[in-house]
Amino acid sequence: MEMFLDILVAVFLILGCLMSLIAGIGLLTFPDMLTRMHAATKPQVLGFLLIFTGLAIHLRSWAVVPVLALAWGMQLLTAPVSAHMIGRSGYRTKHAAKDSLYADELKLVVDKVSSMPATGVIEVPEEEKK
Amino acid sequence: MIEIVMWICGIMLGLASIACVIRVAKGPSILDRVLALDVMLLIISVALCLEMIYNKHTDFLLFVVAACTLGFIGSVTVSRYVSDQRNA
């Protein structure tokens, strides 16, 4: 049983660190910002889950599980928000390579907003929403 | 066995952090740099976990939680700052 748990820990740790390596390679080799964002989110959820599970199993302790669940839940909640913010500001500042997109659903709203004075109300015509 | 695992994980984390540093140095826009630094912070958290596993203690758990929060605050702040000067 001990041997089995040790092997489990080793597999989890190596897979978790592999996620970080994948993120690094992706950051280095992908061509533009949106694809790099895709690579950068690899270790945030799955990598942390593997590492935290390995840590809890290796310490053989239930007492660390709530803290690790807190850290992981925090990642789970904040990763989409920060990715959304980065993607949004990348779109707005023309850092994202828009020619490589297959579908651009935000273009309609952004064009609308940037062509009118700043009133704070966005009106998209009914037939264009479809 | 844990020694070998630590060596493998350490080498992988080292290569990943070198890649992040190169991206921070090259990165055409500030958002690429923020992304790379976010991944760097994740790598640091993973390294803290590995250290806890190797020495069998739990002293760094709160640092890991704090690092998660810090990464979120940092990237959101910088992207707000970037999108505010979109007409510049």
Distance CA B84, CA B75 (A): 14
**Is ipTM strictly over 0.90?**
no
Q: At residue B12, does pLDDT exceed 50? A: yes
Q: At residue B88, does pLDDT exceed 50? A: no
Distance CA A33, CA B65 (A): 27
Q: At residue B87, does pLDDT exceed 50? A: no
| 3-state secondary structure at position A98 | helix
- Chains A & B: contacts with CB separation below 8 Å: 159
- pLDDT (tens digit, 9 = 90+) per residue, A24-73? 999 889 888 888 888 888 888 898 999 999 999 998 888 889 989 998 99
Q: The whole model's pTM is what?
A: 0.83
Q: What residues of B are in contact with residue A93 (Cβ under 8 Å)?
A: 29, 31, 82-83, 86
Q: At residue B22, does pLDDT exceed 90? A: yes
Cβ contact, residue pair B31, A90, below 8 Å: yes
Which phi and psi angles does A103 have, rounded to 5°? Answer: -135, 135
Distance CA A71, CA A51 (A): 12
